Chains A and B, each alone.
Chain A
Amino acid sequence: MGLKQNLHNFKEKNKDKKWLPGFNALFTFLYTPNETTHNGTHIKAADDLKRTMNTVIMALVPCLVFGMFNAGYQHYLAQGLIDSADGFLGASFWTWDNFVIGLWKVLPLVAVSYGVGLAVEFVFAIIKGHEVEEGYLVTGMLVPLIVPVDIPLWMLSVAVIFGVVIGKEVFGGTGMNILNPALTIRAFLFFAYPTWMSGDKVWVHGAVERDAAIAAGENLDAISGETLLGYYAKAGQELTVAGTDTVTTYGARAEELYSYADMFWGIIPGSVGETSKFLIVIGALFLIFTKIGSWRIMLSTVIGALVMGLIFNGVVDAGWIGESSKFYGLMSVPFWQHLIIGSILFGAVYMATDPVTASQTNKGKWIYGFLIGFISIMIRVFNPAYPEGVFLAILLMNVFAPTIDHYVVQGNVKKRMKRLKAKVA
């Protein structure tokens, strides 16, 4: 009968061995097992956990590939070896060289994320004697997309172990976690190694080494690898353009360097997978079309972000805040532009919609999403240390999601009780 039968026999022979769940995981990865359920009610549905996860991964692949090109492009652009690509189809963007550098930097992130994460899952499956849960498949893909390209691999491994164990396994594994594991991993990295998660040295590959070389006296153009949020956060401050004597401000420099089109297509520095708003929107449509992601959460997050942006714009227009304020830069960004700088869209589409940690009720989803967008922009503007708040906002709302659901359900119960009483009376 070939390999499958042999594997099946092997499994039967070792039924009570401790490591069997580990073997089972690999086995079911390759084949559908022979066993069928014999008693009780059961529903045969095609969209099991594995297929759901695979759909999300498919939606993420364009972001990953684009992230590879962008990593190489930003690297070469910073070194002054290529010209700025003009728009999405610019000649200097989709080049083999860019892709090779990106592949070289990003593939290890993916490998470490999956390798370490799945190893932890296997260990816990064996300890608990359960089947291995597929929960890590999406997390493992999300993690490389939300970290800076130059993050040391050992830090990523430590963070993945922490995120999977403390963020998920202590609560009982996939489906029981309160916090989104991928964001737990990012939060751990951010608080543990802040110098590798923010600032102007980490978003472009090679910036740290280059900086060291310049400090050592080599004659290289100093590069600035700020993200756009970094620029806007310091909009009023003076900046000497690297390699020249031109003095300008951060805000003006950002406008000079990046057009709105650049921000939309995603050829800007940032975490690996979150820069291209275009591909995120494509991914969002795919998830909505396949009914995997909740459009309510995505839409309400965007609305929440826009409302907060409008409030800040209103504050600036009303003149309540002066140009000298350190919040002026990010507050005066046009409200709609908040969607194309930073990672609010990526968070809304791939993170906030995580079915385990989000609100379950439809009304709850609207509230949950709205508050994520609202708080994200608020943290983005007011956070003194780090000009982005999407991951913090989503983690915060993860904690509150069950509370929101509770009140939505209670409200519904009350409404029905009232209706019932009215009928009886």
Chain B
Amino acid sequence: MGKDSRLILDPLTDNNPITIQVLGICSALAITAELEASIVMSISVLFVMGVGNVVISLMRNIIPSKIRIIAQLIVVATLVIIVDLVLKAFAYELSKTLSVFVGLIITNCIIMGRFEAFALGNGPWRSFLDGIGNALGYGIILVIVGFFRELLGSGTLLGIQVLGDPIEKTGLYSIGYENNGFMLLSPMALIVVGIIIWIQRTRNKDLIED
């Protein structure tokens, strides 16, 4: 059982897909300006990876290895379309914010990477755990980045004004505080991810590459 739990815990910390493997960076930069979008994106990836890994794992013995990439693409594309349609049906505003990036989950390197590296060689239960673990590892970084970008960039969290009203000048704004517009631009997401990587590697020196 200890081995199985590592499948979930490792990607959260010392084998994190974003900060250690540096995969899935594009979406981490693009949609983390708001916490809500980050959370929805994380849940979408969680669904796609969990189900996708299981499906690929079940089919692993019947997929000819020459066309396995195409087979994987079909599975992930099907799942992403389901997510996209669900979002459009039940959270239309949000799906407009996420726009093309839901569709681009298909090209998220983490998903194809886990299919190739894990699901093709392991049973469904372990593949499921691996998919959930990596999606959580991806999601936790997205949520951290989204938290700081929304808090410092817009002064809100999940759309609620936690620092006061910038127009009415209440709360922090009454003493001259202003939102940091740089936080809303993509380069700042890169820098926030960079800072997380920095802190993580300072705490655990084993992670530093030469």
Determine the distance from Cα of A166 to Cα of B182 in the docked complex, in whole angstroms: 14
Number of A residues near B (Cβ < 8 Å) is 13
Contact: B178 with A155, CB < 8 Å?
A: yes
Is A188 part of the binding interface, using a Cβ–Cβ cutoff of 8 Å? Answer: yes
CA distance A242 to B168 in the complex (A): 29
Majority SS of interface residues in chain B?
helix
Query: Would B198 and A193 count as touching, CB distance under 8 A?
Result: no
CB of A194 within 8 A of CB of B181, answer: yes
Which residues of chain B come closer than 8 Å to A217, judged between CB atoms? none
Check B182–A191 contact: CB distance below 8 A. yes
Q: If the complex has contacts A166-B191, A170-B198, are A192 and B182 also in contact, measured as CB distance less than 8 A?
A: yes
Contact A192–B176 (Cβ < 8 Å):
no
B176: chain A residues within 8 A (beta carbon):
152, 154
Interface string of A162-176 (1 = CB under 8 A from B): 000010001000000
Residue of B nearest to A166 (CB): B191
Q: Smallest distance from the beta carbon of A127 to chain B beta carbons, Å?
A: 9
CA separation between A195 and B176, bound complex, in Å?
Answer: 13
Q: 8 Å CB contacts to A: which residues of B146-182? A: 176-178, 180-182
A193 CB contact (under 8 Å) in B180, B185, B191, B194:
B180
Instruction: Looking at the assembled complex, report how far the CB atom of B33 sits from the nearest CB atom of chain A, in whole angstroms.
Output: 14
- Any chain A CB within 8 A of the CB of B183? yes
Residues facing B in A178-225 (CB within 8 A) are 188, 191-196
State whether B182 touches A188 (Cβ < 8 A): yes
| A158: chain B residues within 8 A (beta carbon) | 180
B177 contact set on A, CB distance < 8 A: 154
**Nearest 10 interchain pairs by C-beta:** A192-B182, A191-B182, A192-B180, A192-B181, A193-B178, A152-B176, A166-B191, A194-B181, A188-B182, A191-B185
Interface positions of A (Cβ within 8 A of B): 152, 154-155, 158, 166, 170, 188, 191-196
Known pairs A192-B180, A193-B178, A193-B181; list 9 more (Cβ under 8 Å).
Answer: A154-B176, A154-B177, A158-B180, A166-B191, A188-B182, A191-B182, A193-B180, A194-B181, A195-B178
Residues of B within 8 A of A (CB): 176-178, 180-183, 185, 191, 194, 198
